[in-house]
């Protein structure tokens, strides 16, 4: 988990929302929903013992995340689904199809429609409600509706049953169906009943809940606690499914929603984009504005935002009315070729969406402000504290840190990492393969690497032209003394130099016998730890690469017919000796520069018994014989040509 993620985790709100995970390339790899963003997102980066392999793989690829606050969990699901369908994130494989999300469907075009649960929303003229979070809770609500509204549940052909004079089924006799199949209810009466059901799923459920509550209290007074508990559960289910949704209205409405927020660092416009009744995306836009009013800002923003827009809705809802609203409407209408209305909602769902956009705008600015402050503490604030501790007069623009890595004195390498203004600058990193046999002598290796670095500077090498404002060595007093001696040898003793001993995180200063020990929360210590850890990581990575290569080369030296060129191509292809030993003959033969005999030699070296590759060996033997036969034929052909004077 990188520092950026650590800082963002501290800013997560205790609100429902949707979070988005990004990889190192900035690609959206996962979208999820949460009742509580703070708790849910933090779970990914805590102990991974209970995580599945898929989640662990995903977390290892997360380099950044973002989130959108919503009003409730249902809305979070809708927005999550829309984002997944739009972006198809890699780790959302199970959610790319919305078949998991149930809807309630009532087709009022039919004379006697059923109230049914479906898994896909279609624009077929029927009325849909949803999607909903829980299939179980939805079915509980449907059952509660059927207990109190006698709508039909069967799939029979009602017209045919009426024509045949069928008798009503058991559901009619127990009061759970009004028996339209027998003609006991008219189409108008049945649709009136369904309108009450539709009102329930649209959120107008207070009268119905009051009725159930009264029944529950009666059952409780009669000491029928089991029945009372069932009614209580149904009330909860109805309240759950009747939440008024913002992110999905199951309509064909298309419009955009914008709201502004401002703080001391700047102004931000936040947009919600509704297509087909669904909020398909949400985005914040930084605006360069100082003292302008919101009316001025939103006018200029809309002009610029829709300047090259190919998909302009018929309606734009804003929290603040723009200046010259009528002129702006006329301009946008002319530009897109259809009527565009700009509205400031005063009530209803669209007002809620404006408030939601405004809340997200304010939250986005607050996150930016807090992150900017924390970034300042981590960089300039940390450097200022470091200057005070080590006694230098100006902030170190360029910091360099050196570290060594070896295994039992072999394959020794060194690393140089560079921080510019407190941040890593990887393009300036350098690594050193130790030339002399240091036999595990860390001081000797450090001396060589530092000497080579400053020799290159004095020789005019552009890659090492800039000198550090602060030199940090990973180690204690001994490593620091080596660094000071090298700097003195090259006439660079004026460069401030310190050591950082890892055991107790002690800062070693040249002119002070006792080390400086800072609290773990100190920004100065943290920036030293970051550059030291980065140097350590860079050195270890290079050491492992060198060690693997040397190990591979040393084993391949024992194989006849494998020279430096073939060792190099085998290393480039397989990297490790284990990979080479596990390779089949065909894989070895496919490596550029390898022929059949060389591939067989490598395979036989790692498989002395030959049992595992018997079939492959036979194939290779046939191929060798074939090549030999071809060579004989070519030789005979050349001889005939020579005899004929060609």
Decide which of 300 and 215 is more confident: 215
**Model pLDDT, residue 610:** 57
**Model pLDDT, residue 276:** 64
Determine the 3-state secondary structure of 49 from DSSP: coil
Burial of 583 (0-12, 13-18, 19+ CB in 10 A): buried
Residue 313 has pLDDT above 60, yes or no: yes
Which one, of 159, 128, 384, lies nearest residue 277 by Cα?
A: 128
- Which stretch of 8-17, 141-150, 336-345, 538-547 has the lowest confidence by average pLDDT? 141-150
Q: Which pair of tokens denotes residue 85?
A: 């369908």
Distances (CA, A) of 170 to 113, 152, 182, 229: 19, 12, 13, 26
pLDDT tens profile 288-309: 766 678 888 888 788 777 765 5
Q: For residues 475 and 507, what is the distance between their CA atoms, to the nearest angstrom? A: 9
Q: For residues 381 and 369, what is the distance between their CA atoms, to the nearest angstrom? A: 16
Phi-psi domain of 21 (left: phi exceeds 0; alpha: psi -120 through 50; beta: other): beta
Q: How confident is the model at residue 280 (pLDDT cuts 50, 70, 90)?
A: low
For the ranges 47-51, 199-203, 289-293, the maximum mean pLDDT occurs at 47-51
**Model pLDDT, residue 551:** 60
- Which stretch of 487-501, 523-537, 582-596, 613-627 has the lowest confidence by average pLDDT? 613-627
Q: How confident is the model at residue 329 (pLDDT cuts 50, 70, 90)?
A: confident
**Model pLDDT, residue 622:** 44
Decide which of 465 and 437 is more confident: 465
pLDDT tens profile 98-128: 444 467 889 999 999 988 888 776 767 888 7
Q: How confident is the model at residue 387 (pLDDT cuts 50, 70, 90)?
A: very high
Strands (E), 353-447: 398-407, 410-420, 423-424, 430-433
Average pLDDT, the chain: 81
Report the pLDDT averaged over residues 505-509: 92
Q: How confident is the model at residue 528 (pLDDT cuts 50, 70, 90)?
A: very high
Q: How confident is the model at residue 38 (pLDDT cuts 50, 70, 90)?
A: very high
Percent of the chain with pLDDT over 90: 28
**Model pLDDT, residue 383:** 92
Give, as one character, the DSSP assignment of residue 248. Answer: B
Distances (CA, A) of 555 to 183, 491, 494, 562: 90, 45, 48, 10
What are the structural domains of the chain?
3-96 (3.40.1440.10), 109-241 (no CATH), 255-367 (3.30.420), 398-548 (3.30.420.340), 557-637 (1.10.150.20)
Q: For residues 260 and 635, what is the distance between their CA atoms, to the nearest angstrom? A: 85
Does the pTM of the predicted model rise above 0.85?
A: no
Which one, of 270, 308, 262, 309, lies nearest residue 288 by Cα?
A: 262
Q: How confident is the model at residue 484 (pLDDT cuts 50, 70, 90)?
A: very high
How big is the chain by its Cα radius of gyration, in Å?
Answer: 37
Q: How confident is the model at residue 41 (pLDDT cuts 50, 70, 90)?
A: very high
Residue 607 has pLDDT above 70, yes or no: yes
Beta-bridged to residue 287, according to DSSP, are: 267
Report whether 430 contacts 400 (CB < 8 A).
no
Residue 25 has pLDDT above 70, yes or no: yes
**Model pLDDT, residue 133:** 41
pLDDT tens profile 238-270: 665 455 444 444 445 788 999 999 887 788 889
Strands 17-22, 28-34: pairing kind? antiparallel
Decide which of 73 and 331 is more confident: 331
> Which are the contacts of 121, defined by CB distance < 8 A and separation ≥ 6?
98, 103, 128, 130, 131, 250
Q: For residues 51 and 57, what is the distance between their CA atoms, to the nearest angstrom? A: 10
> Per residue, what are the HEC states of 501-520?
ECCCCEEECCCCCCCEECCC
Distances (CA, A) of 305 to 285, 357, 510: 10, 16, 58
Decide which of 273 and 315 is more confident: 315
């Amino acid at each position: 988990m990188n520092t950026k993620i650590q800082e963002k985790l501290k800013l997560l709100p205790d609100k429902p929302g949707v979070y988005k995970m990004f990889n190192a390339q900035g690609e959206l790899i996962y979208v999820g929903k949460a009742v509580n963003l703070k708790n849910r997102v933090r779970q990914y980066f805590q102990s991974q013992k209970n995580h599945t392999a898929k989640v662990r793989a995903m977390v290892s690829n997360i380099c950044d995340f973002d989130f959108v606050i919503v009003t409730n969990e249902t809305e979070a699901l809708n927005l999550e689904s829309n984002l997944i369908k739009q972006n198809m994130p890699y780790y959302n494989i199970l959610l790319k199809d919305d078949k998991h999300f149930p809807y309630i469907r009532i087709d009022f075009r039919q004379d006697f429609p059923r109230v049914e649960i479906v898994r896909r929303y279609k624009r077929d003229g029927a009325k849909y409600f949803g999607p909903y979070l829980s299939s179980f809770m939805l079915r509980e609500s449907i059952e509660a509706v059927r207990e109190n509204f006698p709508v039909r549940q069967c799939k029979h052909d009602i017209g045919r049953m009426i024509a045949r004079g069928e008798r009503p089924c058991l559901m009619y006799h127990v009061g759970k169906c009004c028996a339209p199949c027998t003609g006991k209810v008219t189409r108008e009466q049945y649709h009136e009943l369904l309108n009450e059901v539709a009102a329930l799923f649209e959120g107008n459920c207070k009268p119905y809940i009051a009725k159930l509550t009264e029944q529950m209290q009666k059952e409780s007074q009669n000491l029928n606690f089991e029945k009372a508990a069932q009614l209580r559960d149904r009330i909860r289910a109805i309240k759950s499914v009747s939440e008024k949704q913002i992110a999905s209205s199951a309509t064909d409405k298309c419009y955009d929603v914008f709201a502004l927020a401002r703080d001391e660092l700047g102004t931000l416009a936040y947009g919600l984009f509704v297509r087909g009744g669904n909020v398909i995306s949400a985005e914040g836009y930084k605006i360069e504005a100082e003292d302008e009013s919101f009316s001025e800002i939103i006018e200029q923003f809309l002009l610029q935002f829709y300047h090259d827009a190919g998909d302009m809705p018929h309606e734009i809802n804003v929290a603040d009315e723009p200046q010259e609203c009528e002129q702006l409407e006329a301009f946008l209408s002319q530009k897109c070729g259809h009527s565009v209305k700009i509205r400031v909602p005063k009530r209803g769902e669209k007002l809620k969406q404006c408030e939601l956009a405004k809340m997200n705008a304010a939250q986005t600015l607050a996150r930016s402000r807090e992150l900017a402050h924390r970034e300042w503490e981590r960089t300039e604030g940390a450097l200022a504290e470091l200057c005070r501790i080590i006694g230098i007069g100006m902030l170190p623009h360029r910091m360099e840190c050196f570290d060594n890595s070896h295994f039992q004195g072999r394959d020794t390498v060194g690393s140089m990492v560079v921080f510019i203004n407190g941040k890593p600058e990887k393009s300036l990193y350098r690594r050193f393969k130790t030339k002399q046999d240091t036999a595990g002598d860390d001081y000797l290796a450090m001396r060589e690497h530092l000497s080579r670095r400053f020799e290159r500077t004095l020789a005019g090498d552009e890659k090492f032209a800039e000198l550090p404002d602060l030199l940090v060595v990973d180690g204690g007093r001994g490593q620091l003394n080596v660094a000071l001696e090298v700097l003195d040898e090259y006439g660079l003793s004026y460069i401030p130099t310190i050591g950082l001993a890892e055991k107790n995180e002690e800062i070693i200063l040249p002119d002070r016998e006792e080390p400086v020990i800072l609290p773990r929360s100190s920004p100065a210590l943290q920036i030293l730890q970051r550059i030291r850890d980065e140097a350590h990581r860079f050195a270890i990575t290079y050491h492992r690469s060198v060690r693997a290569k040397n190990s591979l080369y040393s084993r391949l030296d024992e194989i006849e017919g494998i020279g430096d060129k073939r060792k190099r191509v085998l290393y480039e292809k397989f990297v490790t000796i284990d990979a080479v030993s596990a390779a089949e003959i065909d894989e070895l033969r496919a490596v550029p520069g390898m022929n059949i005999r060389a591939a067989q030699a490598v395979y036989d070296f790692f498989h002395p018994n030959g049992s595992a590759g018997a079939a492959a060996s036979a194939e290779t033997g046939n191929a060798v014989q074939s090549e030999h036969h071809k060579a004989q034929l070519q030789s005979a052909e050349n001889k005939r040509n020579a005899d004929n004077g060609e």
